Amino acid sequence: MGKTAEIIAIGDEILAAHTLNTNSHWISNELRTIGIKTIAHHTIADEEKSIIRVLDQIQNDTNYIFITGGLGPTRDDITKKVVTKYFGGKLVFHQNILNESKNYFKKAEKEFPCTIDDQAYYPNNADILPNRKGSAKGMHFVKKKQNYYLMPGVPFEMKFIMENSILPKLQKEMKIDYKEFTISTTGISEAELIRKIEFIFEKYPSVKLAYYPSIEGVKIRIGQKIIDGNNDLLQSKNKLLNILGNYVYSLKDEDITKIIAKILKKNNLTISIAESCTGGLISHRITQNSGSSKYFKEGVIVYSNAAKRKYLKVKLSTLKKYGAVSEETVLEMAKGMREISDTDIALAITGIAGPDGGTKTKPVGLVWIGISTKDKTYANKIIFNRERKLNKKYFAQSALNILRLELLKIKNNY
């Protein structure tokens, strides 16, 4: 039996939808990579009875319980007090921690909150886990062989404690007996994927298969318990990759811009990007990767027709005859972008993100994507319409996929 975890987020701000809970997601992801399976997420209020109730409900055989939130200096932060009492301990004062906290606030040039004294009290029945990113430390309780980890709810403080005190220890404790692969696809729907690959797995019943669709594509995860001499996982993976071909952009769970970055760096190529309907999203995603200045040189966001003409030399006659959202315009945009930037490759996009601006012949959701290299300039048309923000996301992902295929010198099916 593998090790399991439950994750508890404590905070009225999550239940009131003022804060999106990303901590539980992050922790589950880290645990999965070292072979610990999350069996439940709980989010509850900053109230003593809610905290006790959820602790009572934790399964008896769950190995690791992670609790985030409610450790700060404000008066609704009661997690430490309640959990300590629940496990039969009490809070004791630590002068050295108070001094440390005072130093922390001094260094950060912040005023020292008057409630900070609470921050120097820690349970006598738990280990204290250092936090160099804030004044609330982590705690580790052990009860009936179950491990309870308490951490602040601020994501970068929680991550600091996980990465420095908890994950290295868990990694040692775990012997991984389960192997899995995540395969990232884009440009194909979940329904089409099911039709194309599901039959493979009828022959390999021990291989678990799951689909994780998002607006950017579908991730496929296949996994299997490790049994000596059984190659079902590798065999089914190879068959799957054979069938899916270029729909697969990575054999990991990663963003398509990371793949584009690798190819550009490897081949010493530079790019530039001209965006209309995506409004900067494509360049933003490219520049999320550190070191992107090596290959990404410049971009323009040509929202108005005047801007398309000024920066990219799109002809007035083209805009008048075919309109801003047309094959002719995007081809001139791509070519103009490459020429003005003197990059090896240019990407251009123009479309209608909505909700306004559509017509009968050019509906909301219509997009033209253009690529220009030294050898050729071409364009692809896409139609996709949900709501504005989703449309922008889908358009950007499609453009990045067309760019990826161009860099790999593979003909695209758009």
105 or 378: CB nearest its own copies: 105
Identify which of residues 98 and 340 has a Cβ nearer to its own copies in the complex. Answer: 340
Q: Rounded to the nearest 5°, which phi and psi values hold at 231? A: -105, 15
Contact at 8 Å (CB) between 176 and 37? no
Token readout for 320 is 């008048």
Nearer to its own copies, 46 or 406 (CB): 46
With contact defined as beta carbons under 8 Å apart, do 24 and 56 qualify?
no
DSSP category for residue 46: S
Q: Which is nearer to its own copies, 127 or 297 (CB)?
A: 297
Cβ-based nearer residue to its own copies, 75 or 409: 75
Alpha carbon distance 353, 130 (integer Å): 47
Residue 300 CA to residue 313 CA, distance in Å, equals 12
Report, in Å, the least distance between residue 267 CB and its own copies. 18
Q: Kindly state the smallest distance separating residue 125's Cβ from its own copies, in Å.
A: 27
Element (H, E) at 171: helix 167-173
- Residue 125 or 250 having the CB closest to its own copies: 250
| Cα angle 132, 133, 135; round to 5 | 80
Q: Map residue 7 onto helix, strand or coil.
A: strand
CB 155 within 8 A of CB 125: no
Q: In 198-290, where does DSSP find H-type helix?
A: 232-244, 256-266, 281-286
Name the DSSP letter for residue 158. H
Rounded to the nearest whole angstrom, what is the least distance from the CB of residue 70 to its own copies in the complex? 12
- Closest separation between CB of residue 253 and its own copies, Å? 7
